[in-house]
Structure formats: C-alpha cells, structure tokens
Amino acid sequence: MRIQFLKCHGSGNDFPLIDARALTLTEPEWAILARLLADRGGPVGGDGLLALVPGDDAHAFGMRMWNSDGSEAETCLNGLRCTARLGFDVLGLDAAQVKLKTSSASVARDPEIAPGVVTIRTLVGPNSTRAADVGLVGAPEAVIDARIEGLPNPRRFTAVAMPNPHLVTFVDAVDEDELVALGTWCEGRPALLPARGNVSFVEQRGPQSLFVRTFERGVGLTDSCGSAMAGSVLSAALTGRVPFGTPIEVFNRGGMVRGQAEADRRVMLSGNATFEGLFAIEADLAGGMLGTPVLIEDRPAERAAWRNAVAALR
C-alpha cells in the first residue's frame, strides 16, 4: 500500500504524521506500521507515529499516536500540536476540540514563539494525581514530592497522569545514566508499575524556567516529550516551586515551549509544530517492509526557522 506522510516535529520530538481519516487498518496493522515508520534504523525514523483521525459530535477531529515499539500512547503533546496543525489546515480551522485515546484536548493557533515558527497552543486536563491513575500499584492515594517504596531510586517523585503516566523528580543536575537506569527498570513492567511509565528529571533554572530530560515509555531517552513537559509544569506547581497560573519557559534538548499550570490541574503548552516535508512510501505490512520515501513537497523555510529559533536559545 502507498502511504503519504508528513515528517514533522514538536520541540525536536519528530514523527511521521498520516492523514488517516479515510484509512482503514486493523490494530495489529497500525502497530506494524508504527514500528516500520518510526524505526530509527529504517528509511523514515521517528519517536512514534501520528495519525489524524475522524472526530465526533464533540470533536472536530481526533489523534492517535503509537510509540516506536508499536504500543499506543494515551497522548503525546508535541505530536498533538503537529496533528492539530494538520487538522486546522485540512478543515480550515484555527481552534478545535480534539479527541485523544482516553481524553480530550483544546487546541488553537498561537502567536509565533520565534519568527517563521508555526505555533500551536494545547490545553489538557484536568489531570490526575491519583496513584492508581498513574498505574502505581500499592502506593498511597497520591505521590507528591515523596519517595516511592519499591522504586529502585531514593529520590522524591511526583506522580501525575496526563493522562499517560509520569514520574517527575527535581534535581540539581540531570544524571542521564541514572535516568536511563530508572527508565529501563520501568520498561520492564515491574509489579509496582505494570503498565510502565515515563520518567523525567527536571532542573529548575530560575523562578519561571525548567529544563526537562525524559526517558519515554516505549521510546527511551528522547530530546523532547510534550506530556513530560506538561507533567513537569504541573509538578512544579503541585510542589510549590512555581505558583499555579504562572507562565513558565520549559527547555529540553529539542528546544523550548511556553507552559502554565492552572489551579484546576489543567496545563497549557504552546510550542512549534514544524512540517519538514511531505513524502510518499510503499508499505508492505504483511512482509514488514518499507520502500524508499519519495519527497513530494519540501519545507526548507520551516526547517531554517526552527534552526534559527534553537540557535537563539543557546
């Protein structure tokens, strides 16, 4: 089958994005396609696969997202911005309510965070601090800036469901070896966290500035994870590091977004939704093979605008 996709990224979190409103695949076929397209050793590569899907009476459109291992995620906020932009473009909208796997989000076009950088605002939640919603088994009702019994790390964590599960800890300096070790342990589906979870180490670099490094469930160490940035913003407010309702700049290896946690535990993120190019590719799902991507439309101006934006941050 021949598939068209946009190669896109939000804060450096990159994906193939398919307009799947008229595409019918079985669930196993979607998982195969995600593993093929998001394979870093393959012809496309990405942190996962995004699909724009039909909405319903309450939603203009929907989004689905599969990790690079073929597992489906509840949400992906960097991917949501990209999917929302495509939805806006094909439907002629500037704002919408989007259906996610287990929740809903408000999205809208926003003023550019840098010249030439298309920017989308997302508002998600209310988000949960119930340990059960995060997937922690045998933990207290909520874990906020506390040690977690059974976790092979003595740091104090805040557990939040965005609605995908996140464990967030604030550190003086990110130790990537420590982060990878804990993230890998969580990937093993331990009895404490059988559905796995995302783990973030966060440096507070000023009164309204965070740097986030994340080991993402089903992906590994990533340059950026949107829901992790949102979870870190919420965790900063829950632990009193940044007041609710305060704008925050959130940095990562991929770039920067604007964030804000509201008192009702909703979180706003505003950041880039960059389209790098439109491609077509032949996919043999039964044989587990991809052809060579064919470039249909290049977007060099968007790539340059984002490179300039990132360079200005350094």
With beta carbons less than 8 A apart as the criterion, state whether 46 and 78 touch. no
Q: Structure tokens of 74?
A: 């509840």
Backbone angles phi, psi at 7, to 5 degrees: -90, 125
Helix (H, G, I), strand (E, B) or coil at 30: helix
Count of other CB atoms within 10 angstroms of residue 266: 17
Annotated catalytic residue, options 8, 76, 82, 186: 76
DSSP calls for 33-83: HHHHHT-TTSSS--SEEEEEEEEETTEEEEEEEEETTSPEES--HHHHHHH
186 is catalytic: no
CA angle 276, 277, 279 (to 5 degrees): 145
Q: Which of 8, 82, 186, 225 is catalytic?
A: 225
What is the per-residue DSSP string for 119-176?
A: EEEEEE---B-BHHHHT-SS--SB-SSB--TT-S--S-BEEEESSSEEEEEE-SS--H
Give catalytic status of residue 76 as yes or no.
yes
Q: How far is CA 297 from CA 215, 280, 305, in A?
A: 33, 10, 17
Kindly list the catalytic residues: 76, 225
